[in-house]
Amino acid sequence: MCPIFRFAPSPNGALHLGHALSALINFEAAQRRQGQFLLRIEDIDTIRCTPNQVNQMTDDLRWLGLDWPEPVVQQSSRFDVYAASIDQLKQRGLLYPSIASRKEIRQAIARSEEQTGHPHPRDPDGAPLFPRHLLKEKEHANGDCAWRLDMEKAMKLVASAPLNWQENGLRSPSYPQVSAIPAQPNAWGDVILARKDCPTSYHLSVVVDDAAQKISHVVRGQDLYHATGLHRLLQQLLALPAPLYHHHRLLTDIAGQKLSKSRGDLSLKTLRAQGATPADIRTMIEFSDDDLAAFLY
C-alpha cells in the first residue's frame, strides 16, 4: 500500500522555520517511501485564516521545493462533513451542550481552589480541565452553544480494549522500533468538539480528515504528542482507522522557547525578503537524514 503523508498547517499567521521543518520531513519521507505527500489547509477559524495567508503559505512551500496534488483540501469547505460526525456523537449521548462562559469557568475554578486548597487539574498543555461538576450546565436546545465530549462516558465505551497509538520512533537498522503508546485521552477532560461560533474543532476535524484522505503516516511536532491520545479516542468512537504517528523535534529559539507564528519572527516570508535561499532554510533548521530516520528502514 502506498504510504500517504500530509502537512496540515493552519493559515492564521505566516509560516515559520518550524513549519518548514515539518513540511520538509513529510515531503521527503513520502519521497523516500515512494508515497504521496498531501497539503491540507486547516482553516476552520475563518476569521483568522484569510485567503491571502493561504496564498502566501502555498507560495512559501513551493519556493521551498515542495509540490502536491491539487485540489488541496481546505477544511473551511467541509463543515457539513464535520457536522455529520458531531451528530453521530450527539445521537449516542456522547456530547453535551455547554453554555458556561470563560469567566464563569475561571470563577468556578478559583472558588474551588480556594475552598479545597488544592490546585484544579490541568490538561497536558497546562489549561485547567473543564469543571463540569462545579457548574450547573443547563440543557440548551437551540444549538447556539458549544458541545463538549462527555469524557467519562466515552472512556467507558472504549474500556474493553487497551487504547494505544503506534509511534514510529527514530529508527536505525539496529534499532527498528514502532512503540505502542498508551493513549490517555482523559487527561484532556470534557473537551469542546464543536464551538459556538464554529461547528467543529481542531481535534474533530483532524481525525475526520486524516481518515477521509487515507493518511497512513501522521508526522507532526512533539507539541501534539499528548493530543494524539485524544485523537485515538475520537477515531475509536467514530470507527475511523488509526494511522501511524511520528512526532518530530521542535525548533527552539536561543532562549529555548518553541518558535511560533505569533512571535512574527523568522517567518519564511521575511527570510525570503532578506535574501535567504531554500538551501539556507535547510541549513538554518539543520535538516538532515536524521530527521527522516523513522522512515528509512
Residues that bind ligand GLU (CB under 6 A): 8-10, 42, 206, 220, 224
What ranges make up the beta strands (E) of the chain? Answer: 4-7, 36-41, 73-74, 95-98, 146-149, 164-168, 178-182, 192-194, 217-221, 244-248
Q: Which residues of 252-277 are buried (b: 16+ CB within 10 A; e: fewer)?
A: eeeeeeebebeeeebbbeebbeeeee
Q: How far is the CB of 53 from ligand GLU (least distance, A)?
A: 12
Pick the closer one to ligand GLU by CB: 7 or 96. Answer: 7
Q: How far is the CB of 142 from ligand GLU (least distance, A)?
A: 30
CB of 229 vs ligand GLU, minimal distance in Å: 13
Q: To the nearest whole angstrom, how small is the minimum distance from the Cβ of residue 123 to ligand GLU?
A: 16
**Of the two residues 224 and 240, which places its CB atom closer to ligand GLU in the complex?**
224
Residues whose CB falls within 8 Å of the CB of residue 85, separated by 6 or more in sequence, listed in order: 204, 208, 238
User: How far is CA 49 from its chain centroid?
Assistant: 16
Cβ proximity to ligand GLU: between 106 and 263 the closer is: 263
CB of 224 to ligand GLU, least distance (A): 6
Closest CB 9 distance from ligand GLU, rounded Å: 5
For ligand GLU, the closer CB: 132 or 220? 220
- Phi/psi of residue 253, nearest 5 degrees: -85, -175
Nearer to ligand GLU, 9 or 35 (CB): 9
Tell me the backbone φ, ψ of residue 227, rounded to 5 degrees: -65, -25
What backbone torsions phi and psi does residue 244 show, to the nearest 5 degrees? Answer: -80, 145
Tell me phi and psi for residue 218, to 5 degrees. -95, 110
The three cell numbers of residue 174 are 539496529
Cβ distance to ligand GLU smaller for residue 16 or 132: 16
Q: Comparing C-alpha atoms, which of 219, 220, 232 is closest to residue 187?
A: 232
Residue 279 has φ and ψ, to the nearest 5°, of -65, -40
Question: How far apart are CB 8 and ligand GLU at their closest, in Å?
Answer: 4
**Closest distance of CB 152 from ligand GLU, Å:** 26
Nearest to 60 by CA among 280, 282, 271, 289: 271
Quick one: 10 or 216, whose CB is closer to ligand GLU?
A: 10
43 versus 150: smaller Cβ distance to ligand GLU: 43
Rounded to an integer, what distance in angstroms lies between the CA atom of residue 148 and that of residue 135?
14
Phi, psi at residue 20, to the nearest 5°?
-60, -40
